[in-house]
Amino acid sequence: MEFAFQRTYRGPLKAAILDWAGTTVDFGCVAPAVVFVQVFEKHGINITMEQAREPMGAEKRKHIQEIAQMDAVQEAWKNAHGTTPTESDIDQMYAEFIPMQVACIGEYADLIPGTLDTIEHMRTRGMRIGGTTGYSSEMTDVLGPEAADRGYEPDVSVAANHVPAGRPAPWMAIKAAMDLGIYPMEACVKIGDTVPDIAEGLNAGMWSVGVVMTGNEIGMSESEFAAAKPKLLEPKRDRAYTKLAQSGAHYVVDGIADIPPILDLIDARLARGERP
């Protein structure tokens, strides 16, 4: 056979898979960062907010493990406890993390500005909405109803413990698509605020979009952000845009409010037969 013919999807986007903290709720992704600091503090180790935020997007036990593997933390742990942290130390910290995170997660459930308008816009396009997260279901069971009270309720929500592996593996995004009954994967766009979020979408074969100013990369609450000097924000913004773009994001924007025009761009690329 001299020629082979390849099938391409030319239809529009059918679903958005949205991260929770830093993307749709919890401006600055503050809730988990605060609790990671507190959990290490319980074990006599002071970590910085920057260290606490570094692995953000990952499933939370894996996140604790990644902090524990940082050179400075290993050193401090050795000084405090005589050895570097063991797997059972990490199990113990994760066991402590769960109730501490659940206890405060409701305080960080306010929607990020633009969330409701963007969801409404997506719905008028006929898109369905899925949620994925580094949180476990103990945490989303509290966060989900809090967000619903504020008007945001995705059609399906997948927590990190619902799948064999969290981000950067694609399973949560794929399970969300499956639970929505949506295919092909190139008809889905994944939106999130961290490098593992971008990887999750790309690994799932979806379009992947990063949000910068409302998420972990800037790491400021809404009031801190409002009070921050543009001079301070600009270099942080540049660094964050570069980081998420270099992780392979198809598009990077300030926040979820900026998503609607991106959907037009992706629809146009799909119509031309492009794939993520």
Q: Which sequence positions are flagged as catalytic?
A: 19, 60
Q: Which is nearer to Mg ion, 15 or 212 (CB)?
A: 212
Specify burial of residue 43 (Cβ count, 10 A radius: 0-12, 13-18, 19+). Answer: middle
Q: Which SS3 state, helix, strand or coil, does residue 34 take? A: helix
Least distance in angstroms from the C-beta of 85 to Mg ion: 25
Tokens representing 153?
A: 């309720």
Separation in Å, CA 252 to CA 179, 219, 241, 246: 27, 16, 6, 10
Q: Closest residue to Mg ion, Cβ-based?
A: 22
Q: Which is nearer to Mg ion, 185 or 244 (CB)?
A: 244
The conformation of residue 157, written as its DSSP 8-state character, comes to E
Q: Which is nearer to Mg ion, 37 or 58 (CB)?
A: 58
DSSP 227-272: HS-HHHHHHHHHHHHHHHHHTT-SEEESSGGGHHHHHHHHHHHHHT
Site for Mg ion in 123-152 (CB under 5 A): none
Pick the stretch among 5-13, 136-144, 181-189, 193-201 that binds Mg ion (CB under 5 A).
193-201
Interface with Mg ion, residue 19, by CB under 5 A: yes
Pick the stretch among 12-20, 78-86, 173-181, 242-250 that binds Mg ion (CB under 5 A).
12-20
- What is the C-alpha to C-alpha distance for residues 244 and 230, in angstroms, rounded to an integer? 21
Site for Mg ion in 20-79 (CB under 5 A): 21-22
Least distance in angstroms from the C-beta of 21 to Mg ion: 4
Least distance in angstroms from the C-beta of 269 to Mg ion: 25
Binder of Mg ion out of 54, 59, 193, 217 (CB under 5 A): 193
Amino acid at the residue 161: N
Q: Which is nearer to Mg ion, 29 or 187 (CB)?
A: 29
Amino acid at the residue 173: A
Residues in the site for Mg ion, rule: CB under 5 A?
19, 21-22, 193
